[in-house]
A and B are shown apart, each in its own frame.
Chain A
């Protein structure tokens, strides 16, 4: 279906009119997520999509209980009202996570889903419809709308005027254009801007691993990077190394990554020329980048001789990494700014890293996670407590 002018398509739910907000992590919502999760695990069609399976893992009962436990305190809260979500069109399952967060906070939700026909979207909508049609979830049905409409239409304006929270899942240009459309005075906005992410690896720790565990680390790194073309905000661009005496760690690591990517990564010619073009552009714009190390086109890497201001503009896609040796994360102190988002680590204690960020009072880095988790979305994201931000406090002692 091609949407023209002011057409709107409701994939799930319908017009959201009368509703009352729920308390965060209400039993109704937790049960709904649990049922949805079981249904996905049961559905044969979902097996082919690891990203849909990750949705089911997030929504399963145990995980939601755990999140609920760490959220609840003695405050009385309710959802803010209507949450309007503008989700990114090139991550097929992002829209449903955004919906979950809105629901968990206690809100009714209008979710603009990507217009691209990803099979994941159809499947997830199908299953959501099925569960929502149960009489137990009548109320949630009335609080849900998954919509598709043309960007040039007036619908963004329409929903913006009605919402209490607006979520814009990024990029800077999208945020800029949607911010021109007003929301009511008391409404708030959560925006996910373009960010810069990096990894910190300890060579000695890698050297202590057996071959199987090296492959595991490489696999985790592959998931953080290649899996989303290294194009997600949380995919590392820069790899910082704490050097070992032998400097063997990075060698075995990159060999494992290259082998894995060579086997698994979908690498059409346009990615080869795109990566090469990016590398050459960067070499011209950032003279401190060193020479290219590569065995083939799947993995490109280059050393940065010294860190510099504006490092966050040095980016690669499709497996182009920049590297630099450090003794401690602290060496970043002159460069970290609010663009820095995720720090992926291996061989470090996260507490120690968090301490460095806080003690140095840095303006950036708001996610410190082990290698392999860079793309996992959660209720704490981009430095926001999403459930807290989308609910209001009615009473506290």
Chain B
């Protein structure tokens, strides 16, 4: 499937205007939908129940979306089983079912290539020294081979002289870190980590030890939920400010992505907006009828990606809420839709009799 998209995948990630993007993207989404409909049994049953017709050409907003919860229940693939080279699992809280996504080598390759294009557009083509704010153990311990481990492995490929800031017990390797930073004076440093880990095991410790890393030119990419930080009253602004305080002159970029669509991530620009690249798109939908929201209106987030070819994850309905702020007109100059994430949908008090002895 991906063979047909090779040229498109080489396009600069934020270069297409909305007409061009829509034209191309609609075509790919239709192709992918049809492809998975024909190759994935579960997806096919779902689409039939939604009155999907393989002969019809759909507008972007009309294409059926797969609810993200299905990845917790079914192992859906659109390629022969023997082609699956790895299984990605979301990092769920213990006891909760996790999303399982099965990849073939073509999808896995395309994912890292796209991530590379996206990240490079922010840091330039030169390979930079890379600081991973996590433990190297996530790479080695199969129990941690979740989205967290995969994200780190995927990201660390862009850098050189990769340094893991935490030891296996999640302690900051203070002295080694200082030496490593000294040895790269004058170079741009790229940093990567999970939002909460960056805050709790990196920023907090540096702050307590009153250490200033004095990085002259750096880019910090961080990913992951804000829930644990909200409890501590830390928002994006406070986070950014606090990290600059301990690191020096760095850009702090939150980025959004799902294990179901690795690679085609949404990175935050200098103006704090998350951007769709040409590999991905976003629609927000109203709860009452799933009609698309207007720009500026809060809605349930649907995400699209050209990458998933081994499994039907190209159009998913998430359980997150967000607001699309505009398209092609962000002051940062990047083309594509840009948006803001508002977090998980609020859970509801479900009535009725069920197993609730626990509460």
Contacts and interface: CB of A to CB of B under 8 A. Distances in A.
Interface in B37-70: 42, 45-46, 48-51, 66-67, 69-70
Interface string A180-197: 000000000000101000
Contact of A178 (B42, B70, B350, B357): B357
Contacts of A280: 46, 49-50, 66-67, 70
B358 interface: yes
B317 A273 contact: yes
Nearest to A293: B51
A268 B299 CA distance: 11
B212 interface: no
Interface of A: 86, 88-91, 94, 114-116, 151, 169-174, 177-178, 192, 194, 227-233, 235, 267-274, 276-277, 279-281, 283-284, 287, 289-292, 295-298, 302, 317
Given A228-B351, A267-B287, A283-B49, 7 more contacts: A90-B353, A231-B350, A269-B346, A273-B67, A280-B67, A284-B74, A292-B51
Interface string B338-359: 0000000111111111111111
Interface residues of B, number: 36
B351 A89 contact: no
Contact of B356 (A114, A178, A233): A114
Contacts of A270: 319, 345-348
A228 B354 CA distance: 11
A269 B287 contact: yes
- Give the secondary structure class of B's interface: loop
A174 B346 CA distance: 26
B349 to A, nearest CB: 7
Contact of A272 (B46, B288, B346): B288
B355 A170 contact: yes
Contacts of B50: 280, 283, 291-292
* B70, B346, B358: residue with the most chain A Cβ atoms closer than 10 Å: B358
Contacts of A151: 357-358
Contacts of A302: 49
A307 B90 CA distance: 37
A298 B73 CA distance: 24
B345 A268 contact: yes
Contact of B49 (A94, A171, A289): A289
B8 interface: no
A194 B42 CA distance: 27
A158 B341 CA distance: 49
A248 to B, nearest CB: 23
Contacts of B70: 277, 280-281, 284
A174 B69 CA distance: 25
